[in-house]
């Protein structure tokens, strides 16, 4: 609830599902994005940025939870009473961009984009209302080679970030194959009348990981009551039809030849199913030739993805190593992104079909994964060198010392508070400063500066018994002529970096 | 207006005041941000990211146009009926963060932040509803050295980005001095009753650049009718009081000793005015000692800044070189950012005063400025090498050629459309590819690949008369053994980079 203090002041807090990112997190994200950007650029994709806000009707309603109020999207009216929304992904804005500029774009059009997206989720643990996606898309071709390439790109990206081969798999399926199964059990995949039923089936299957086959069977049939007592209506399929869908997703990921063979009899009767199967076979062939098949990219009949706009191949990047969940159990890390082919998104605007395919990485999820396997390189960085202020009347002198350090490429700051020596030392500690610079009247008289090594000092403090010994030995503290300040500080930084 | 096509399809367009950023723009912004980040880090600031959405009451209402509906902010209710807003700057979220985490932060707390902010402006030319700010703030100290440092930081940043010394100036003033002038004419700067009058004065003065002294005088007095006939009510000051304010801002920027001397008699009678003057004198002293006074950072009595929350020193970064405006007239480029001291923002939450000062760079404005003086380094980048697909049955072979290039660090892609040779060449041209790779059946038989240099080819095309001569000379096209592909492409790229 929006709280305020007794005295009417607002409470300082964030809405749930939103969070601040501290320095190490910001630096690690930045490093990750730069690695991903490098791989995407090497594949020939070009950057594009679109704004956070779009017309609501331009974004459309494709979220899995579209039946909830607000369709899971943050929306508001501007002064002209037009409805605007925060983008919920980077694909819908891309479709708007392509429709708007179609004539002057190269075909195919290949772009990458990175940025925050927003979901108007009911606040709760683990539900984020803002998160960052990193997308690559190839628009304007129905060439299955574009889908195969997107999977290769994702595999290369994960490896470039340090996920070892064998600890991830890009899973591939095809919506047309599922539609073939549905056609076989009397659900018409293209009729308006069966659209809701098809969507319900899709979302039921998408919950396989969480609910298991039995839970999915209930959602395919008459419905399911969850632990909290909430009832989710089912797709209303006959038991025989439920069985067909379960057999399809049960074909799973047996090594792709076997999976494809298991699927074939289920879709044999429907053109659309056979077309989907042919696309899977073609992707297999391209991936195998490029050396990505089986271990890195594998067909998995249980992957369907929750978004409504996919029309053909769908992909999901899964990390297969285990981590402990909040209850201390070992669980597979799971999905860090997904994508697929969406041939109808641009036609929403233009009426003309523009086939497209793409992939979206969930940056925060992936960042958590890299941290879990020790591949996040954002170890805490050394703070700035702090120049202590021994006498505020002499600020300009301390400012000049600071500038001298900066001019030499040393990260440095003058203490800018107004407290005494003890607080200044505490400040430097809290900033993780490698050392402080001290120049009182005595040092000025001798043309010297003192450099106090805080890292060595902390080690010495652990072994020294009392204040007397400390004063006598003055550990980790040296005086040097002012002219040698830079050289001495550089030496100190080099020593600590070598041990970092 | 939210348009849709005759057939009910949504129109593909962005709301006014929002824009897409093409590849060159994205790359140039990224370069700029990295330079700015480097300077801020060298000063000891640490990165922090806060989300785009905050509780509306946590952001407060400080925008210059707060008297308009919605207070210029995009706001919406979430499912729990709480009001949320998109941040309109990076300072208000910082105040929320500091209030929330005060106890565990180093004091002073020094952070930088970069990201988009949103303003619910009435759409119109030159009004942006999303733009990027880059802020640095020092929170938790009333030391004027922190204000002086922020000005030095901004000057160093502009120079690091390539703005020559002498073509910019960081202008400094102090709200307390203006309050002293107001006290002298009977407007109580701290009383609730006079708060609106003070704000009206502030905003009138902030329009000096646009309206000139006469326009400001009207806004200080009975009000002003603009060209469109709209009437803006004035502050209702007596003519004598209007005169005092005009004399104050007229002290301008004469070289700071003179400006300070001209201000002194206007504020002599009020404690707050004298305090402000003393702060200006102290900043002067620190800036002069550090070598930043006068040319790089200068006192200017006409700078007040529009935001309501400043309490002491205010800053504005102005670029002094001239550019042509939309009407072809030469005008000074003007402001690319501003800031100041805001000692009461954290107290909004905690009731305890936490003095703070900071500066915000308008990234897009500054990017436009760098482009205007030829300092934007985002010259169009060469596109990827394109491997042509001579036979779709052979896709895996072309895919392998592409991978070979990428593995060698060459940006490359296989043509992913489904069109013929002519369209493929056109695609490569549109992508600004340096060359295409061709390997038909003949080349395969000879173990060769052809490399067609598109840049040399374009030059040759300008001089060659007819198709016959072209076929006979085959300009800018070489065949090499497949094993020498990498070497040959690298040579070609090196030649073109040298001439870029």
Domain ranges of chain A: 23-372, 385-499
Question: What confidence tier does B2 reach under pLDDT thresholds 50, 70, 90?
Answer: very low
Is B66 a residue whose pLDDT tops 50? no
- CATH number for the domain whose boundaries are B23-372: 3.30.930.10
What are the residues whose beta carbons fall under 8 Å from the beta carbon of B400, sequence distance 6 or more?
A289, A290
If contacts are CB pairs under 8 Å, which of residues 181-210 in chain B contact chain A? none
Q: What is the value of pTM for the model shown?
A: 0.91
Any idea what DSSP says for residue B476? T
Identity of the residue in B47, B100, B130 whose CB atom sits nearest the CB atom of A52 = B130
| B301-340 residues touching A, CB cutoff 8 A | none
In the sheet with B412-414, reading across from the earlier edge strand, the strands are: B412-414, B385-387, B435-438, B448-453, B477-481
pLDDT for residue B165: 96
Q: Calculate mean pLDDT across residues A143-154.
A: 97
For residue B77, the model assigns a pLDDT of 85
Cβ within 8 Å of B, A 336-365 = 348-351
Residues of chain A found within 8 Å of residue B5, distances taken between Cβ atoms? 349, 351
Residues 9 through 48 of chain B touching chain A, CB cutoff 8 Å: 9-15, 18-23, 25-27, 41-44, 46-48
Which residue stretches of A320-420 are H helix? Answer: 347-350, 363-372, 395-407
A498 touches chain B (CB under 8 A): no
Q: Which of A119-123, A146-150, A328-332, B275-279 has the lowest mean pLDDT?
A: A119-123
What pLDDT digit, counting tens, does each position of A399-408 carry?
999 999 999 9
pLDDT score for A2: 47
Q: Name the token pair of B376.
A: 């934007």
Tens of pLDDT, residue by residue over A271-326, are 999 999 999 999 999 999 999 988 999 999 999 887 778 999 999 999 999 998 88
Could you tell me whether strands B130-139 and A109-118 are parallel, antiparallel, or unpaired per DSSP bridges? unpaired
The mean predicted confidence, pLDDT, of chain A is: 90
pLDDT at B307 over 80: no
Distance from CA of A480 to the nearest CA of B (A): 23
- Other CB atoms within a 10 A radius of the CB of residue A433 amount to 23
A131: distance to nearest CA of chain B, Å? Answer: 9
Cβ distance B110 to A413 less than 8 Å, yes or no, reads yes
Judged by phi (left if over 0) then psi (alpha if -120 to 50, else beta), residue A153 lies in alpha
Residues A351-374, mean pLDDT to the nearest whole number: 94
pLDDT at A138 over 80: yes
pLDDT in the model for residue A326: 80
* CB of A130 closer than 8 Å to CB of A29: no
pLDDT at B459: 85
> Would you state the CATH architecture of domain B385-499?
3-Layer(aba) Sandwich (3.40)
pLDDT of residue B188: 82
pLDDT average, residue stretch B322-335: 88
Region A474-500: what's the mean pLDDT? 88
Please, are residues A316 and A171 in contact by the beta-carbon 8 Å criterion? yes
The count of CB pairs under 8 A between chains A and B is 302
Tokens of A23: 């320095």
Strand bridging mode A313-324 / A168-174 = antiparallel
Interchain proximity B129–A413, CB inside 8 Å: no
pLDDT of residue A61: 73
Q: What pLDDT is recorded for position B206?
A: 87
Which CA distances in Å does B148 have to A416, B130, B339, B343? 11, 30, 12, 16
Report the candidate in A497, A78, A154 with the shortest Cα–Cα distance to residue A316: A154
Q: What is the pLDDT of residues B99-149, one digit of tens each?
A: 999 999 999 999 999 999 999 877 666 678 999 999 999 999 999 999 999
Farthest CA pair distance, chain B: 96
CA-based nearest residue in chain A for residue B416? A146
Probe site for chain B from A3, A5, A14 (most B CB atoms < 10 A): A14
What per-residue confidence (pLDDT) applies to A81? 81
Helix, strand, coil share (%) of chain B residues, nearest 5:
45, 20, 35
DSSP string, B429-471: HHTT-SEEEE--HHHHHHTEEEEEEHHHHHHHHHH---HHHHH
- The residue of chain B nearest to residue A346, with distances taken between CA atoms, is B12
- Residue B79, chain A, CB below 8 Å: the answer is yes
A186-202 confidence digits (pLDDT tens):
888 777 778 888 888 88
Decide the pairing of beta strands A46-47 and A109-118.
Answer: parallel
**Least-confidence region, from A249-253, B14-18, B40-44, B419-423:** A249-253
Q: Is the pLDDT of residue A177 over 80?
A: yes
pLDDT digits (tens, 9 = 90+) for A212-223: 999 999 999 999
Cβ(B82)–Cβ(B93) under 8 Å? no
What is the least distance, in Å, from the CA of B38 to any CA of chain A?
10
């Amino acid at each position: 609830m929006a709280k305020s203090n007794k005295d009417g002041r607002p409470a300082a807090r964030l809405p749930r599902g939103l969070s601040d990112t501290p320095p190490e997190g910001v630096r690690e994200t930045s490093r990750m994005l730069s690695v991903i950007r490098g791989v995407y650029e090497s594949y020939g994709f070009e950057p594009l940025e679109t704004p956070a806000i779009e017309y609501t009707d331009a974004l459309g309603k494709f979220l899995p939870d579209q039946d909830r109020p607000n369709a899971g999207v943050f929306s508001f009216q501007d002064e002209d009473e037009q409805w605007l929304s925060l983008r919920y992904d980077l694909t819908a804005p891309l479709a708007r961009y392509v429709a708007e500029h179609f004539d002057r774009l190269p075909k195919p059009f290949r772009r990458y984009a990175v940025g925050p997206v927003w979901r108007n989720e009911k606040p709760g643990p683990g539900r984020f209302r803002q998160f960052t996606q990193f997308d690559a898309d190839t628009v304007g071709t129905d060439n299955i080679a574009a889908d195969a390439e997107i999977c290769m790109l994702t595999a290369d990206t994960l490896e470039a970030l340090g996920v070892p081969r064998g600890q991830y798999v890009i899973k591939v399926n095809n919506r047309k194959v599922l539609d073939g199964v549905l056609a076989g059990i009397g659900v018409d995949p293209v009729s308006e009348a069966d659209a809701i039923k098809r969507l319900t089936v899709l979302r039921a299957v998408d919950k396989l990981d969480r609910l298991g086959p039995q839970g999915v069977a209930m959602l395919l049939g008459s419905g399911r009551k969850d632990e909290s007592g909430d009832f989710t209506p089912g797709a209303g399929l006959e038991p025989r039809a439920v069985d067909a869908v379960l057999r399809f997703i049960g074909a799973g990921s047996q090594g792709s030849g076997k999976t494809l063979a298991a699927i074939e009899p289920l879709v044999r009767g429907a053109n659309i199913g056979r077309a989907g199967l042919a696309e899977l076979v073609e992707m297999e062939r391209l991936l195998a030739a490029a050396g990505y098949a089986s271990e890195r990219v594998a067909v998995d009949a249980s992957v369907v993805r929750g978004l409504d706009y996919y029309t053909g191949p769908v992909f999901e990047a899964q990390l297969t190593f285990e981590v402990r969940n909040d209850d201390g159990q070992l669980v597979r890390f799971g999905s860090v992104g997904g994508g697929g082919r969406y041939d109808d998104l641009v036609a929403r605007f233009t009426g003309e079909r523009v086939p497209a395919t793409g992939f979206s990485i969930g940056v925060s999820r992936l960042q958590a994964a890299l941290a879990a396997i020790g591949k996040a390189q954002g170890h805490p960085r050394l703070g700035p060198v702090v120049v202590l202020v021994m006498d505020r009347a002499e600020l300009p002198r301390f400012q000049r010392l600071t500038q001298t350090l900066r001019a030499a490429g040393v990260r440095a700051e003058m203490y800018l508070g107004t407290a005494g020596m003890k607080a200044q030392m505490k400040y430097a500690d809290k900033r993780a400063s490698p050392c402080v610079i001290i120049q009182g009247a005595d040092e000025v008289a001798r043309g010297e500066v003192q450099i106090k090594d805080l890292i060595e000092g902390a080690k010495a403090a652990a072994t020294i018994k009392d204040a007397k010994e400390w004063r006598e030995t003055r550990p980790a503290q040296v005086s040097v002529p002012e002219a040698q300040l830079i050289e001495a500080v550089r030496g100190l930084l080099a020593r600590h970096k070598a041990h970092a």
